[in-house]
Structure 1
Amino acid sequence: MSKLSAVLRSVAIAAALSLLCLPALAREDAAVAKSAAQASGVYYEIFVRAFYDTNGDGIGDLNGITAKLDYIKSLGVSGIWLMPINPSPSYHGYDITDYEGINPQYGTLQDFKKLLDEAHKRGIKVVIDMVINHTSDQHPWFKAALDAKDPHHDWYLWAKPGTDLHAISAVGGPAWHRASNGAYYEGTFTGAMPDLNYDNPAVRKEMIEVGRFWLRQGVDGFRLDAAQHIYDDLRTDMNDPIALQKNARWWAEYRHALEVTNPHVWLVGEVARQNPDDLTPYMGPLNTVFNFPVATQLIESVNQERNLGIGRGLEYSYAAYRTHAQGKFDDAPFLTNHDQERVMSQLDDNMAHMRLAAALLLTLPGHPFIYYGEELGMQGAKPDENIREPMRWYRNGKGEGTASWKDWSTSDDAAISVEAQQNDPASLLNLYRKLIGWREQISALRDGVLHDMPVVDPHVLAYTLKDAQSRVLVAHNLSREARVFELGADAHVSSVLLQSEDGVVLENGRLSLPPYTTAVLQ
């Protein structure tokens, strides 16, 4: 396409989309007034070790992320989330030994600053994992804490007389672990990850300073690991209103303190609960939390090819979030992450289902997250190492920059690679690019208030999204057969704007959707 043709095409798209503007659109609440002057809002999660290796040691590195920023930019994402980049004795990095350092296997602070600069030049924000519920048991603080007279002793949680040393932690394992000095300390996850004591003001102050340090380097925000477990440590704490209140109070303090350094800092918390009501209290203290309930529901709906109440549930949840956060909240939907089996494995390697799952995710408002390789259809099943495998860049598997920290465990073939899909218009990779592009074109897909549209057909999901700039109806056919349904006079739909697959027809108030197809209608 010539430059002139590209410009004319862009103008045509802009003109068509201007028809979406509804100047008289009612202001439903603060969420409706969000600015459309932003990109897609989509984030891309990266395990640095697995992504791209620039020095030939087999381990992905920060310079590898920088080298692949143009690929990341080509997806249309607004930001990246880097899993832990700090020094750690483990391959995954979730037990940190230096909060202001860079894992030497990944590079240097200078490399990280270069990554930040190059990402920002491309309009890509950078969010990093902030793992502050616990440290490594190899952290100098914990080593000092073994001396009961050292000030760091009270930075951790130690058993007292009468403590039930057989108590189960909130994640299901032993809560108490014996230290080399004979004392017992609390570690919600494992003995290698001793919990910090957030009732100690010195701990809270130090962790705020850690956040400020990274903001001063240029980081745009943080993914807050184990956000619910700051005070929710034991199985008996899981539904304790006091633990919840203390969690929320801490995160409000944290957010307020970081906003002094960067008023636009963005905080997304990991609250791994399946009841939407358990997420609501974190809206306000944080910008958002990952929507675990909808992740489960999306994959189950695709597997069953039925609408399991997604629209109804989201309408309920979003209303609760708006009320709790005075209208100022984002959602963070996703399909899977580094702790869960990959989407394609959960969908039994069904590409039609994978394409539908992508369309469901990327037509939801907020900030959807994509796990690296998801856009290719990479598979991966537990144990954890097998869902964090090297990114597949080449048809033949190996090639320049391919990480080799472990071998692949799946049956993915040459088609599951960037090289194979890059220039194939029908590939999953290019479907992701198209869907993400929709969000750049239509602000309601990012910022709209969602209202469920009841549909009699259990294989169809439909909802409206409305913001100050646009109003659209999104319809999904979840089944392997074409579906036709009446929109009704109150739908106020005039034309088909976008479709994930060809063949959508709107005629006389009836919408025809081919199998596994998503349509966006004006």
Structure 2
Amino acid sequence: MNKIIRNAWFLALFAIALYSCTGSVKQDTGTQQESTALENSEQGVFHPEWSKNATIYEVNVRQYTKEGTFKAFAEHLTRLRQMGVDILWFMPIHPISEKNRKGTLGSYYAVQDYKAVNPEFGTLEDFKSVVDQAHDMGFKVLIDWVANHTGWDNQWIKDHPEWYKKDSTGNMIAPFDWTDVAQLDYGNQEMREAMIDALSYWVSEADIDGYRCDVAGMVPVDFWANAREQLNEIKPVFMLAEDESEIALLEEAFNMNYGWEFHHIMNGIAKGKKNANDIMPYFDSVTIKYPEGAYAMQFITNHDENSWNGTVFERLGDGVETFAVLSFTVPGMPLIYSGQEAGMKKRLEFFEKDQIDWSNIQFGDFYQKLDQLKNDNKALWNGSAGAWMDRISTEADENVFAFKRTLDDNTVLVVLNLSGEAQTITLQDESINGEFTNYFANEIVELNANPSLNLKAWGYQVYIK
């Protein structure tokens, strides 16, 4: 990061620290307070206070329990809250089209009715109940929204065929090879209004807190900007874009997008195709491209990666925990996918029933500790509420990624061996001096200038001051 960008970043951090840092305890702010802040925001997308140190969790209702219902999932809310989860992102909850359906149960992303609930999951009242329970426990709730296309037996196809894109022969078309869906035409203003009406319905009726928007970059930016404006009139919402290339989405409508590039860098390092030196160029580009306050969701898995590209163990091997620590400590909001905390070693079927095995939640304590690390250390907070990271050089920069993030009196030092061989390294940073807490060992250590550390294969150490 060049000197001008670095100085601007720290000036912004100083202003944010004076304005909004209130300690390590997560606090929910009321709608009235958030609305006032929204109205007073001069430019850009408003970031709600509750998102500043949040962790997001993706809920796959179908596969979560034997029943595959909202009621059955609700039994896990206490566990998830104790693990430190703040935001629940439900994969699409709508009825799934039967026409051109893939597999027995079909894709969640082939929506039959935007204003209804998938009967396999329960009723509208069941969903509202789980949202209410989640809110009572301190969660925020997002639902997945598919705005680019609908299923082939969606009522819109029958009532408003003019709302869909067509080929030269006048036939409706599917995007790519997604044969179970038909692509909508955003050149039609009536369709846009109907889509915003459906988006508004769930905020008003079920009191959800925002959306994760599927293939958001395939939908015009001005639509999302208009939708966000109208949703915020109901309540301030949080918006996640499944996109990385269309930065205007972050400028006009979305709080967060996907860190796809960083995800692929981690996969590449695990396979020996990339190394630790490939990480900082990505984050340097983020400081240039992203608008102030916006950030990426960082993850080692999600529903697409698990089902189509492999489990974390297939892709990351012995480095699973190390890359998880990395995803929780770099700038951005960390994601946990259903079953990740149970060490799930299977690719979940996408179109069939394939229940997650919860008999041994072997990584539950590990992710609880990572969530607490994120929550308690403001240097790690999201966007402008947290600090940027400075890489620390070692003798083994291709294999070891070391960095620190400092905000006010809080410093988090992270040292990761991203290789399958033990490393003995010296951190080339004279400013590292004094007592630190070795977070995972839970002990106080004295680190002097340019400290030397021993790292086992795929080892990780986190120090807090």
Same structural fold, with TM-score higher than 0.5 when normalized by the shorter chain: yes
Correspondence for 2:173 = 186
Alignment of 1:127-142 (within 5 A): 127-142=142-157
Q: CA deviation at 1:456?
A: 4.0
Q: Distance in 2 between matches of 1:299 and 1:290?
A: 15
User: Counterpart of 2:195?
Assistant: 207
Match of 2:75 in 1: 67
Residue 215 of structure 2: which of 219, 226, 231 is its match? 226
Q: Which structure has the larger Rg? A: 1
Report the 3-state secondary structure (helix = DSSP H, G, I; strand = E; otherwise coil) of the residue aligned with 1:368: strand
Distance 2:181 2:430 in 1: 55
Cα deviations by residue, 1:237-286 (Å, 9 ceiling, x for unpaired): xxxxxxxxxx22222222222111112x0110111x5xxxx253322221
Q: Which of 310, 324, 331 lines up with 1:365 in the alignment?
A: 331
Q: Could you give the per-residue CA deviations for residues 445-489 of structure 1, whole angstroms, max 9, x where no partner exists?
A: 122223333444121112232345633332212234443333334
More moved, 435-444 vs 88-97: 88-97
Quote the Cα distance in structure 2 between the aligned partners of 1:502 and 1:307: 27
User: Could you give the per-residue CA deviations for residues 182-216 of structure 1, whole angstroms, max 9, x where no partner exists?
Assistant: x4112114233111111111111111111111111
Aligned match of 1:240: none
Structure 1 residues 489, 353: closer, same or farther in 2, change over 3 A?
Answer: closer
- Show CA shifts across 1:324-359 (max 9, x none): x2x121321111211123697354387742111211
Query: For residues 456-471 of structure 1, what are the structure 2 equivalents within 5 Å?
Result: 456-457=395-396, 458-467=398-407, 470-471=410-411
**Superposed CA offset, 1:482-521 (max 9, x none):** 4333333454443332444689873453131432113134
Partner SS state of residue 461, structure 1: strand
Give the deviation of 1:93 after TM superposition.
Answer: 1.7
Asked if structure 2 preserves the Cα contact closer than 8 Å seen for 1:473 and 1:493, the reply is no
Q: Contact conserved, 2:68 with 2:121, CA < 8 A, in 1?
A: yes
| Contiguous gaps of at least 5 residues in structure 1 | 1-24, 54-58, 145-151, 162-182, 231-246, 395-416, 422-427
Question: Which has the larger share of strand?
Answer: 2
Q: Could you say which residue in structure 1 is the equivalent of 2:184? A: 196
2:458 pairs with 1:512 = no
Within 5 Å, which residues of 2 pair with 1:38-53?
38=26, 40-53=53-66
Paired residue for 2:222, among 232, 239, 249?
249
Q: CA 1:111/1:468 → structure 2, altered by over 3 Å: closer, same or farther?
A: farther
1:168 alignment counterpart: none
Question: 1:288 aligned to 242, 256, 264, which one?
Answer: 256
Q: Which residue of 2 aligns with 1:110?
A: 125
Residue type matched to 1:27 in 2? L
Is residue 380 from structure 1 mapped to residue 346 from structure 2 by the alignment?
yes
Task: Select 2:392's aligned residue among 449, 453, 457.
Answer: 453
After superposition, what is the alpha-carbon deviation per residue over 1:65-94, rounded to whole angstroms, capped at 9, x for unaligned?
211101111211111111111111343321
Taking structure 1 as the reference length, the TM-score comes to: 0.72
Describe the shift of the 1:133–1:440 C-alpha distance in structure 2 as closer, same or farther (beyond 3 A).
same
**Partner in structure 2 of residue 431 of structure 1:** 366
Separation in structure 2 between the aligned mates of residue 31 and residue 51 of structure 1, nearest angstrom: 42
Q: Does 1:318 align with 2:287?
A: yes
Distance 1:382 1:102 in 2: 22
Q: Which runs of 5 or more residues in structure 2 are unaligned?
A: 1-8, 28-52, 98-104
- 1:27: how far off? 2.8
- CA RMSD in angstroms, aligned pairs only: 2.8
Q: Classify 1:68/1:192 alpha carbon distance in 2 versus 1 (closer, same or farther; 3 Å).
A: same
Q: CA deviation at 1:29?
A: 4.8
Do the aligned residues in 2 keep the contact of 1:44 with 1:80 (CA within 8 Å)?
A: yes
In the TM superposition, what whole-angstrom CA distance separates every residue of 1:417-446 from its partner, at most 9, and x where no partner exists?
Answer: 22xx3xxxxxx3211111111112111112
- Give yes or no for contact 2:433–2:447 (8 Å, CA) kept in 1: no
Question: Is 252-261 or 472-481 further displaced after alignment?
Answer: 472-481
- 8 Å CA contact 1:45–1:372 kept in 2: the answer is yes
Counterparts in 2 of 1:97 and 1:194: CA distance versus 1, 3 Å:
same
Equivalents in 1 of 2:320, 2:265: separation in Å? 14
Secondary structure of the residue that 1:435 maps to in structure 2? helix
Q: Give the conservation status (yes or no) of the 8 Å contact 2:55–2:334.
A: yes
After TM superposition, the structure 1 = structure 2 runs for residues 296-307 of structure 1, keeping only pairs within 5 Å, are 296-304=264-272, 306-307=275-276
- Alpha-carbon deviation of 1:155? 0.8
Alpha-carbon distance change, 31 to 214 in structure 1, aligned in 2, over 3 angstroms? farther
Q: Is the Cα–Cα contact under 8 Å of residues 32 and 448 in structure 1 kept in the other structure? A: no
Number of residue equivalences: 408
8 Å CA contact retained: 1:87, 1:97: yes
Q: TM-score, normalised by structure 2?
A: 0.80
Distance of aligned partners of 1:439 and 1:390 in 2 relative to their CA distance in 1, 3 Å threshold: same
Aligned counterpart in structure 2 of residue 443 of structure 1, from 372, 375, 378: 378
Matched, 1:119 2:134: yes
Partner-residue secondary structure (3-state), 1:107: coil
Structure 1 Cα separation of the partners of residues 15 and 200 of structure 2: 28
* Equivalent pair of 1:302/1:356 in contact (CA under 8 Å): no
2:44 maps to which residue? none
- Seen in structure 2, the aligned counterparts of structure 1 residues 62 and 382 have a Cα distance that, compared at 3 Å, is closer
Native 8 Å contact 1:303 1:353 kept in 2? no
Decide whether the 8 Å contact of 1:463 with 1:473 is kept in 2.
Answer: yes
Note the alpha carbon deviations across 1:16-50, whole angstroms, 9 max, x for none.
Answer: xxxxxxxxx95345885454553751111111011
Task: Determine the structure 2 residue equivalent to 1:403.
Answer: none
> Would the alpha carbon gap of residues 31 and 471 (structure 1) be closer, same or farther in structure 2, given more than 3 Å must change?
farther
